[in-house]
Amino acid sequence: MPEKKTMVISSAEQLLDAKTRRNFLKLMGAGGAVFFLPSILTACSDDDDDVTGPAFGQPAGSGPAVVIDFSRGDVAVLQYAYALEQLEADFYTRVVAAFSTSTFSAGERVVLTDVKNHEVIHRDAFKAILGPSNDFILNTTYGNLNFADRTSVLATARTFEDLGVAAYNGAAQYLTVLANLELAGKIVSVEARHAAVIRDLIAPKSSSQGDSGTSFAPKAFDDAFRPGKVVPLAQPFVVEVLTPRNAPATFVQGPNNNG
């Protein structure tokens, strides 16, 4: 028998790392011991930073680079998701904050408030799960978007939700840890529910299909976009420069073959 070894897990981030997990599993198999340091148990933050920082509204891409290094594997994919959830959470927080001047119906306000809650929870969940790897905050910019204007707000919401679905669907193939894939799956279907509902607010009960289709479900298969396609579509809303690094060279297309 090999000697018994021990492993110390000091951050939640390590649990997301395929290498750590492999070692963990091997250690379990060999009858080793694993210790969780107290810091991992307090990874859950209760920060109330509902909106992004003081650089809000600066020109898109005018800030420093925010690097997501895909050589980090699963952690990078979760950072990528965290970045997108930051944008969505910030957007809907501003939408809800503008209710006093906007023309949304009572029912629409309930919907948008729900979506705001879900996106903030997604963002804060990733923040907690990523632990020390959550150390970036994106500042948003929306050009001349009028948050009091129903049509403009819903159009932007649709963009975010459809992009979110395509981003998760396209990034899942880079996840190597089952628990991370499951987590992404739990979120992407909620984003798809949001997308359908927002689209139904814009064009109720529409059956219009295709890239410019207005239906709640404009395609039989949702898009799956690689990070390199998602980032340029998200960048117009971000002050910092979204900088994917070491993005995987290979991307397996979905049925729409457009990612």
DSSP letter assigned to residue 102: S
Binding status of residue 256 toward other proteins by CB under 8 A? yes
Binding status of residue 207 toward other proteins by CB under 8 A? yes
State which amino acid sits at residue 6: T
Angle between helix 178-202 and helix 106-130 axes, rounded to 10 deg: 160
Which residues are CB-contacts of 18 (< 8 A; sequence separation ≥ 6)? 73, 74, 176, 177
Binding status of residue 8 toward other proteins by CB under 8 A? no
Query: Which residue is it, tokens 């959830």?
Result: 85
Using DSSP's 3-state secondary structure scheme, residue 50 falls into coil
Residues 159-198 that bind other proteins (CB under 8 A): 165, 168-170, 172-173, 175-183, 185-197
State which amino acid sits at residue 216: F
Binding status of residue 247 toward other proteins by CB under 8 A? no
Binding status of residue 224 toward other proteins by CB under 8 A? yes
Contacting range for other proteins; rule: CB under 8 A; set: 98-106, 148-156, 201-209, 239-247: 201-209
**Count of residues interacting with other proteins (CB under 8 A):** 81
The minimum distance between CB 134 and other proteins, in angstroms, equals: 13
**Cβ pair 190, 168 in contact under 8 A:** no
Residues 91-120 that bind other proteins (CB under 8 A): 111, 113-114, 116-118, 120
Residues 19-48 that bind other proteins (CB under 8 A): 21-22, 24-26, 28-30, 36, 40-44, 46, 48
**Cβ pair 12, 131 in contact under 8 A:** yes
The minimum distance between CB 234 and other proteins, in angstroms, equals: 18
